[in-house]
């Protein structure tokens, strides 16, 4: 028997709108462990899997304030290693924010800490083979991919490649866990393409489908003999929007023979960014599961407009919060006004868009060899 806990997006950094007062600052000033309230559940599992939504390191190709956004100091590795977080997905839309070398150093530090890295393979953002880990007399294979910022044609191409990998990986592991960064932000209902591709990946051999990127939970259901979790939301993240703080731990038990069992345990991220058990959200979780059930029963298209409105509303509200927060702390941003304005106008967007899965080149070039 193998026990796996799966969680959503984790970062120990700050967003631009929370510069010098967000999660990274709170962790440093308070000296707390963000996993403290979840530690009992983490200690019981053979494997704990997260999506790491930041780079770990102390160097960037960017200039302030962006060089301090979505990057976490090396000492934050202790939060992972000290809490049995032993499998980390790095394939997501922020992996290359600070340049290729910063990302590669982050991967190296994770591995040096004894943490298995998925979503990266031999200088590419596409895994051709699973990372296979043994526990409980079984071999479990882990794969990680990002299609969150791909146009439809590239998404289709990537999912076709993933299916080929799954088809060829059955002999290397008893079960396969596939971690997918996909979907749309600020919605509790997966968009139709996530449902469509999710069913294809399960059919191709994914035993557990572990999704993230939406910042909100989107339910968990059994599909045949597999477990489908299109998004596990935020787990530790630099946001305090209530719906983005409702999260969960997906606890999966994998016997060598027979059906997998799972529990979907609700948590809530408190004001110190620590997820803590929240049984009061059991009803909310069941409601979200109902939406997912409708989608799997052929209703994903009828939810498409609901998803579109939710995403639009969420981004609009986030822009308002961002502007209010930055204006309220104007002096923190004043030295960087020109850079921020350029960013907002799209002339100097530092955030990486990864579309070529076979290389690690980011949107911009490494400047002057610095990283």
Q: Are strands 138-146 and 87-89 parallel, antiparallel or unpaired?
A: unpaired
Q: What is the pLDDT of residues 16-68, one digit of tens each?
A: 999 999 999 999 999 999 999 999 999 999 999 999 999 999 999 999 999 99
pLDDT at residue 346 tops 80: no
For residues 241 and 219, what is the distance between their CA atoms, to the nearest angstrom? 19
For residues 282 and 345, what is the distance between their CA atoms, to the nearest angstrom? 42
Q: Is 337 exposed, middle or buried (0-12, 13-18, 19+ CB in 10 A)?
A: exposed
How many other C-beta atoms lie within 10 A of the C-beta of residue 63?
A: 13
Question: Would you tell me the crossing angle of helices 152-169 and 192-204 to the nearest 10 degrees?
Answer: 20
Helix (H) or strand (E) holding 27: helix 23-30
Task: Report the C-alpha dihedral over residues 184, 208, 247, 148, rounded to 10 degrees.
Answer: -20
pLDDT at residue 360 tops 50: no
Helix (H) or strand (E) holding 122: none
For the ranges 103-117, 176-190, 291-305, which has the lowest average pLDDT? 291-305
The reported pLDDT for the residue numbered 222 is: 97
The reported pLDDT for the residue numbered 121 is: 83
For residues 343 and 337, what is the distance between their CA atoms, to the nearest angstrom? 10
For the chain, domains (ranges, CATH) are 2-311 (3.60.21.10)
Report angle CA 350, 354, 357 to the nearest 5 degrees.
Answer: 155
The reported pLDDT for the residue numbered 344 is: 73
For residues 360 and 154, what is the distance between their CA atoms, to the nearest angstrom? 16
Residue 313: name the closest of 303, 305, 302 by CA: 305
Residue 355: name the closest of 149, 183, 184, 163 by CA: 149
**What would you report as the CA-atom Rg of the chain, rounded to the nearest whole angstrom?**
19
Residue in the structure block whose two tokens are 């070039």: 365
Cα dihedral across residues 70, 76, 81, 83: positive or negative: negative
Answer for the pair 38, 346: CB distance below 8 angstroms, yes or no: no
The reported pLDDT for the residue numbered 307 is: 95
The reported pLDDT for the residue numbered 69 is: 95
pLDDT at residue 369 tops 90: no
Give the pTM: 0.94
Model confidence band, residue 371 (pLDDT cutoffs 50, 70, 90): very low
Q: What is the pLDDT of residues 246-300, one digit of tens each?
A: 999 999 999 988 899 999 999 999 999 999 999 999 999 999 999 999 999 988 8
Strand order in the sheet with 221-223: 131-135, 138-146, 175-181, 208-212, 226-229, 221-223
Q: What is the pLDDT of residues 141-184, one digit of tens each?
A: 999 999 997 889 889 999 999 999 999 998 999 999 999 999 99
CB half-sphere exposure, 345, CA atoms < 13 A: 7
Q: Residue 314: helix, strand or coil by DSSP?
A: helix
How many other C-beta atoms lie within 10 A of the C-beta of residue 241?
A: 16
State what percent of residues in the chain have pLDDT above 70. 93
Q: Is the peptide bond before 170 cis (omega within 30 degrees of 0)?
A: no
Answer for the pair 197, 162: CB distance below 8 angstroms, yes or no: no
- Strands (DSSP E) along 81-236, which ranges? 87-89, 116-118, 131-135, 138-146, 175-181, 208-212, 221-223, 226-229, 234-236
What average pLDDT is seen over the chain? 91
Residue in the structure block whose two tokens are 């002096």: 331
First to last CA, the chain: 44
């Amino acid at each position: 028997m193998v026990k796996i806990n799966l969680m959503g997006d984790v970062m120990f950094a700050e967003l631009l709108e929370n510069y010098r007062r967000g999660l990274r600052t709170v962790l440093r000033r308070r000296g707390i462990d963000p996993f403290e309230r979840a530690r009992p559940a983490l200690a019981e599992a053979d494997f704990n899997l997260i999506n790491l939504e930041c780079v770990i390191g102390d160097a960037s190709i960017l200039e302030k304030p962006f060089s301090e956004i979505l990057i976490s100091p090396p000492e934050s590795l202790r939060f992972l290693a000290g809490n049995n977080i032993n499998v980390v997905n790095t394939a997501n839309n922020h992996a290359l924010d600070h340049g290729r070398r910063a990302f590669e150093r982050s991967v190296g530090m994770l591995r040096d800490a004894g943490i298995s890295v998925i979503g990266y393979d031999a200088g590419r953002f596409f895994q051709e083979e699973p990372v296979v880990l043994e526990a409980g007399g079984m071999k479990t294979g882990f794969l990680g991919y990002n299609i969150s910022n791909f146009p439809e044609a590239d998404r289709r191409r990537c999912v076709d490649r993933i299916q080929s990998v799954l088809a060829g990986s059955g002999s290397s592991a008893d079960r396969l866990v596939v971690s997918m960064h996909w979907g749309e932000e600020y919605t509790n209902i997966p968009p139709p393409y996530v449902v469509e591709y999710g069913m294809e990946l399960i059919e191709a051999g994914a035993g557990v489908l572990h999704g993230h990127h939406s910042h909100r939970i989107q339910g968990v259901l059994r599909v045949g003999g597999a477990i489908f979790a299109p998004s596990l939301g935020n787990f530790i993240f630099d946001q305090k929007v209530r719906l983005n703080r409702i999260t969960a731990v997906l606890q999966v038990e994998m016997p060598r023979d027979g059906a997998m069992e799972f529990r979907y345990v609700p948590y809530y991220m408190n004001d110190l960014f620590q997820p803590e058990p929240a049984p009061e959200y059991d009803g909310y979780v069941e409601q979200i599961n109902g939406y997912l059930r409708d989608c799997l029963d052929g209703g994903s298209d009828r939810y498409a407009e609901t998803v579109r409105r939710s995403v639009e509303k969420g981004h609009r509200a986030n822009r308002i919060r961002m502007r209010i927060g930055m204006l309220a702390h104007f002096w923190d941003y004043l030295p960087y006004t020109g850079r921020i304005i350029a960013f907002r106008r799209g002339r100097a967007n530092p955030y990486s868009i990864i579309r070529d899965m076979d290389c690690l080149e980011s949107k911009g070039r490494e400047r002057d060899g610095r990283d």
